[in-house]
Amino acid sequence: MNKILFTIFVIVSQSINAQNGEDLFAEMEPLDAIDQRLLPDRMLFTQRLLWGEKGAMRSFKRYELTPENREKELKLRRKFLITHQILGYVTLAGMIAQGFIGGQLYNGKRELYELHKTVGNITTATYFTTAGLSLFSPPPLVSEKKGLSSTRAHKWLATVHFSAMVATNVLADDRKKLHRAAAYTAFGSYATAMIVLTF
């Protein structure tokens, strides 16, 4: 009888001790609520208008703020940003082309005026589409941390080249020297914005 009881007890006590490592997770603390937030603390006001908790897009069922919808939204964000990158390169090419054409035009080749105007309109269209894709994209999961970063520098430079791009278009017909200065400022700050993000 003693032997039977002893054997039973050894088996039971060994089974208590033979917990799988996986069982230990049940004894750990669950994720913080902070880890499960769907929106970042901070976002651009343009993003908040559309994608904030009470943004315009939230009134559509497809974009109601749920984990499943937010996942789809992040995939949409990825498409927005990839298109932003591609159009960004197209815009850069347009600016470089305009630099050459504009330079020739300013040196007296008046026959290039219509070409300069057409390429200018196309570049302006791609530029503002590129900007829109960034400004109105769904926000990321987490906010950027404070301090200097390549992303922050990219955004700061955007305010410079955005203003310069507007000025370039406003000054296109009347103030040629200012138009050229604004165009060079737009190109310089734009190219720098791409470089800081690449490296």
Residue 121 interacts with another protein (CB under 8 A): yes or no: no
Q: Which two tokens stand for residue 55?
A: 């943004």
Residue 42 interacts with another protein (CB under 8 A): yes or no: no
Residue 27 CB, shortest distance to another protein, in Å, is 6
Residue 22 interacts with another protein (CB under 8 A): yes or no: yes
Q: Could you give the 3-state DSSP secondary structure of residue 30?
A: coil
Q: Which two tokens stand for residue 165?
A: 């791009």
Residue 179 interacts with another protein (CB under 8 A): yes or no: no
Alpha helices in 52-149 (DSSP H): 67-106, 113-135
Under a CB-based contact definition with an 8 Å cutoff, are residues 39 and 63 in contact? Answer: no
Residue 35 interacts with another protein (CB under 8 A): yes or no: yes
Q: Could you give the 3-state DSSP secondary structure of residue 52?
A: coil
How many residues touch another protein under the rule CB under 8 A: the total is: 42
Residue 31 CB, shortest distance to another protein, in Å, is 6
| Cα–Cα distance list, 192 to 75, 130, 139, 154, 189 (Å) | 28, 16, 24, 8, 5
Binding site for another protein (CB under 8 A): 1-2, 5-6, 9-10, 13-14, 16-17, 19-22, 24-25, 27-29, 31-32, 35-36, 38, 67, 70-71, 74-75, 77-78, 140-145, 149-151, 198-199
